[in-house]
Each structure stands twice: as C-alpha cells, then as structure tokens.
Structure 1
Amino acid sequence: MSTIPTDTVESTREMNGTGTCENKPQPVRVWVDGCFDIVHFGHANAVRQAKQMGNYLLVGVHSDAEVSKHKGPPVFTQEERYRMVRAIKWVDEVVEDSPYVTTLDTLDKHRAHFCVHGDDITTTADGQDTYHLVKTAGRYKECKRTEGVSTTDLVGRMLLVTKSHHQRDTDTMAIKTETELGHNTRSPWTGVSQFLPTSNKIVQFSEGKEPKPGDRIVYVAGAFDLFNVGHLDFLEKVAAEGNYVIVGLHTDPVVNRYKGANYPIMNLHERVLSILACRYVSEVVIGAPYTVSDNLMNHFKIDIVCHGQTSIMSDVNGEDPYAIPKEQGKFKLLDSGNLLTTKTIIERIINHRLHYEARNIKKEQKELKIYQRMCEQNEN
C-alpha cells in the first residue's frame, strides 16, 4: 500500500528555539523516468515542468537492457545517458537502472510523492501502458509534451541524410516517412513535426542571471549539434576556467560551411534550448559571429576564450577566427578527454541503419494503433 502523501507537502515536528514543537515543511519529491536516449530539449522541458510541481526531482533512467527489450537498441549507452541526465540543471538526483514499468514500490523506495510524464503514451513491448499502476493509485501527473521534437525524429533526420531540417521542410520529410510506413496518418507523438520557437520558451529555459562583480567570464563558440557527452565533458572543463560561461552558437549556414554534409542535424533554435538546459552554461549568444571580435570581447567583458581539440577553420576572409583573443593572451585550448562527437553519433546510427529504421517504424506503428483506439473511444 502507498505510504507517501500525493497532494500535500510532507511535514515533520521539530523543536524550535523556544523549546516547543512546530511543523516543518518537507520537500515534495517528484519522480520522472525514461530512456533519455539522445537527450534533447524535449526531455529537458519535461524535466523542467516536473520540477515546478515539487521541490526535489528524481529522474529514473532505464538500463540498456530495458530499453532494448521494450523499444529497441539505444543510440547512447546507459552510462552516457546517466551522465547526460545529471547535467540537466533541474535534476536533483538520478536513479540508475530504473524499471521500465513505474511501480508504487519504486516511488515509495525513493520517497517520491508522485510520478510525472508527458501527455503522450509510453508502452512496454507487449503494448501495456508503463504508468498504469501509478495512474490507478492516483500518483500520476501529466506535463505538456514539447511539440516538434522526439528521439525518433532525430534518428530519422540522421537516416535521411538531408538538410531539409534546416528549413524545416516537413511536408517532404513526412511524405517520405509515410510511404515507408505504408500509411498516410502520423503518430501525434513521434511523427516529424515542426518545432516553433518562442521567446517564452527561451525565457523558461534561461536562468536570466547576470554575471556578478568579480566573476571570471568564459566564452566558447561552436555548433554543439546533437548535444552529447563529448560536449558535456568539454563544458565541464570550461566551467572550471571561470564563474560565468557564455556559449556562442553559430547559425545553421555557418555550421554547414565548416561541417559540411547535412550538418547541423538540429537547427539553431533547437540547439539553443539544448545548451540552455545544461547546468554548466550561464548564457547563450544566439547566432554568434564566427570570428571572436574585439567588439564581442568588450561587450560581454570576456576574460578568456576556450576551444576544444577540434580543428579550427579559417573565416570566409581566410583569417583566424580567434586571432583577437590570442593577441590579447585570452585564448586557451582545452582537452575534454572525450573523443565522442556528433559525427560519431551519426556513424552509430548509419552503421546500424536497419536496426534503427525498424525501431522507428515499429514505435510509430504501435503509437498510431493506440492513438486510433483513443480516438474511437472518444467518439463513442
């Protein structure tokens, strides 16, 4: 039987300074769980919303074995996924190897008052709702799913190997995928859709904190496409160089110039939210210039500019984009010790193309059947 209150703040009686007892509110502990494969801003937004429902957020992350059993092979290893979730700034604690079906025992073990999930459907390998137990017990709450992004969508972009996601030419992509699936109706949860950025969403993700007097301000710039553990380890090193980290994100055309192929996989607005969700990042410059100019250095009062071990391409005028900070003695190369890159992730997908294509098709077909059944029930 459940022993944790669901709608009220837990309290304890403690002695106050006058020698009498008084009730002291205890944090409302919120539980969220999932695969968190290719952690993106949709995951981060669910976590952000869940944290607003309480004071302490626990995030359960499924193991590779659990993910493979119920969804298919994950792109990231469980250790990579554990680390990525820990870096989301609203997360207080990560519970590794959490069960795929959320049980009351799991909530009680971690003293969680209730579980939160998006308003989409998650099922086991046999089609069972993974949250049916906590729903029945009244210990389930929903947050709004972030439209326009899903792990299935991102894997699909890498499999298509096009640049249509830069302009969000979704009609062409949808037609192709519908033909592959053999139907003309899409799952409302993982089908390709358009992410529409708003100023409100950026404000929700941003801390909005200015640097304090005396803070050492660090600047880094790049694509940060498909934000991953390699980026994370680099930003952790960057954060150790100062107190306030500013990340400059290059536009899609600039990234495509120095990366080529179909890069970036995620467009500028998607990359902005992914970076803002990282606990090591203080501020983001949206569409930062490729060359770190004197004006940029002065405007943000930058103390040091850092760069990783990747090669630096000259600007379109043939000049070194880091010439100014180098001349000022404010440039530093950092080695994160992690060789994982966006290219590596894409290679994982391409090398196992058939597995991921089958996974995507199976997942969307399963969701579509559930959605159609829900529509029929509503009509009746």
Structure 2
Amino acid sequence: MEEKAERVWADGCYDMVHYGHANQLRQAKTLGKTLVVGVHTDEEILLHKGPPVFTEEERYKMVRGIKWVDEVVEGAPYCTSVATLDKYNCDFCVHGDDITRTTEGVDTYDEVKRAGRYRECKRTEGVSTTDVVGRMLLLSRAHFCRDEWIEKHKDDARTLSTHNDAASPWTDVSRLVGDSKTLEEFSSGNKPKPGDKIVYVSGAFDLFHIGHLSFLEEARALGDYLIVGILSDHMVNSYKGENHPLMNLNERVLTVLAYKPVNQVIIGAPYDITDEMIDQFNISVVAQGSRVPHHEVDGVDPFEAPKRRGLFQLVDSKCDMRTEVIIKRIFDRRDEFEQRNKRKCEDTVTNGTHGNRV
C-alpha cells in the first residue's frame, strides 16, 4: 500500500454544499494525513462560472465544518498551480474524475497534471451544484406525481414517517440510493461512551446550509454525543408542502453525516419524540432551534415527552439562514442562474465534462 502523503490539497467553489462535495473531500483525505481545502472567492466564481448561491464567508464556514477537512485556505486561485501547492506544503492536489475549465476553456489543473502532482478520485454521480440549483428553479408542483399516493395514505402520516424510497413521490427528481457501504464511509463509527451526555435533534435538514450547521454546533455543545433524526420525505412534505424536500432522505442523511458535530443519525426518524425513544437512546437533552418555525402535525406537540421530563431545550443558532432564504436568492436572480445552468449543460454535451468546479 502506498504511504500516505503528509499534506494534500483539494479546491473548488463548494457552493450549495452537498454530499457530493463531502464525498470528494472524504476520498481526498484517504490519500493524506492532512487535508487542506482551497475555496474560491465570489469574484472568481462569478468570472468563470456565474453567480454563486452562497457567499464566500458562508462557503468557508460550510467547508470548515466537514469532518475530513483539516485546514481551509480562503480565496484560493481558480487555477491550481505548483506554486500554490508549494506555498501550503502540499504534495499533490486531488480532484474528481471530471475536467474543469476556466471561462477561456483552459483545464484548471493543467499545470499540476504536467508536474505529476495531481491525483484523481471518483466523482459522485447524480448530484452537483447545477443539479441542486435546477431543482430550485423547478420549484413548482410540475415534477410531482404524488397526489394519488398522498390521498391513499393521508390518514397514516405518522406511521409513514419512515417511508424511504429513493425515487419517492416527493423527490422524484432525485434518485440517490443509499447503501450500507456508503453510510459506513460517511459515519465516524464512534459509539457513545458510558456516562456520555447524549443530545438529540431532529428535522428535515434540506438544502443543508450555515443555519443548520450553526444549530448543530450549538446543540453538540450541550453534551458529549449528538444524534440527529432525519425526517422522511413524506413527513417533511406533510408540513412544508409544495415540492419539499428538494433533497431526498438518502441525500439529506449523507450530507448531515459529513459534518463534524454529528455522531449518529436516525434515518426516517419519527416526528414525535416519545418516552420509548428517549429511553432507547438514553437521551439527556432534546434541542430545538429558536429561529425556525415550530411545526405541529395534527395539532400534536412532537416535544411533549421531553418537555414533560425536563429534557427540552431551545437553542439559538445565532444565524437567520433558512431554506426559504436560499430559494429566494435563486428566484431573485433566476435569469442568471438559468443561463449558468444552460452553459453548464452545453459544456457537458460539447466536451463530455462537467464544465466547472464542484
């Protein structure tokens, strides 16, 4: 087996951070002891690719939060050079197996490839920032085929909260199929130690953003071990409506698992946090964010049991970012994002590439 490098470099836009970005960084970390990640500025992304959805400060924080990232370089150059690798004492850089180009059509990794300081990892199929932005541009009921299914099961909303279908009626645009190997790769694998104070939170965690990350960081600070319940597609849609969630259950699970505060996830978690669940997982604190609307299904408070037992705690994420804010950013600049996605698709057809950076 080849000995790991001391320091490896990865870079990109890391806009609309998702499990594909996390998987690239996970693979990069397997090649070195320290993973240094360069993140481009808004100005550089606008020049070569089009407007980013997240600001550079938001993207810096999101990348820092990913569990395989050791260091973040802010304002990294769009074209990766040998000088950049040398500056940060990195042996080589790692990127997915898709070619990325500048606005002039130049391979952004040409120099380091010619110097033999480039390594390739497998790109995560089925997701990209372009894809996620496209889902928001389609924010209508047009791609749904769920009405008959919901009518049939409308009286079963709670028991169906564990419904898990990769091509579900709510997220038919998304077809990631989860498997145990991928979950194992994304999981930290650690179990709570005797005496650990276990904190539990739950939610949709759709279009994962700095508000989610800030909340998870604050919740994790309340104890020693954080369990995150990820609600099913059906349950999220039952209280948010339209075509929510935009990321399916499998996608949301992997994205949340990639972040440092999270120790464990419950896939398709029940909406109600019951006494049985509290006892099963030895939960000491149940946290809820104070800056998000409180949803009740059928008028029942899902936090009744933890409140009764004195385990409930409101947490201030100190961040007002919400999924709706991200969607508004897309719609406020809809024409620009549509043109950006169109150029990306045309480049893919013309060059057989994914055109731009992750």
- TM-score, normalising length: structure 2: 0.88
Deviations 1:334-376 (A, max 9, x none): 111111001110110011110000000012212321118xxxx
**Is the 1:147–1:193 contact (alpha carbons within 8 Å) kept by the matching residues of 2?**
no
Alpha-carbon offset, residue 64 of structure 1: 0.3
Which residues of 2 match residues 137-286 of structure 1 at below 5 A?
137-162=115-140, 164=143, 168=167, 194-286=175-267
CA contact (8 A) 1:87 1:279 kept: yes
Q: Paired residues, what number?
A: 329
Select 1:114's aligned residue among 87, 92, 102.
Answer: 92
The one-letter code matched in structure 1 to 2:340 is R
What's the offset of the Cα at 1:315? 2.9
Residue type matched to 1:102 in 2?
A: T
Residue 259 of structure 1 deviates from its aligned partner by 1.3
SS in 2 for 1:287: strand
TM-score, structure 1 as length reference:
0.83
Counterparts of 1:337-352 in structure 2, within 5 Å, are 337-352=318-333
Once residues 174 and 300 of structure 2 are traced to their aligned partners in structure 1, the CA distance between those partners, rounded to angstroms, is 39
Q: Distance in 2 between matches of 1:206 and 1:42?
A: 15
Aligned to 2:297: 315
Deviations 1:294-337 (A, max 9, x none): 11101100001000022222233x32110000000000011111
Q: Which runs of 5+ in 1 are unaligned?
A: 1-6, 10-26, 174-191, 373-380
Residue 211 of structure 1 deviates from its aligned partner by 0.3
Identity of aligned residues (%): 54
Structure 1 residue matching 2:8: 3-state secondary structure: strand
Classify the secondary structure of the residue corresponding to 1:28: strand
Structure 2: runs of 5+ lacking an equivalent: 145-164, 354-358
Alignment of 1:47-58 (within 5 A): 47-58=25-36
| Residues 132 and 193 of structure 1, relative CA distance in 2, 3 Å threshold | farther
In 2, distance between residues paired with 1:226 and 1:311?
A: 17
Match of 1:295 among 276, 279, 301: 276
| Aligned mates of 1:115, 1:167 — CA distance in 2 | 33
Aligned position for 1:36: 14
1:66 is aligned to 2:44:
yes
What is the CA RMSD across the aligned residues, in angstroms?
Answer: 1.9
Counterparts of 2:268 and 2:208 in 1: how far apart (Å)? Answer: 17
How far off its partner does 1:260 sit? 1.5
1:86 aligns with 2:67: no
Asked if structure 1 preserves the Cα contact closer than 8 Å seen for 2:166 and 2:250, the reply is no
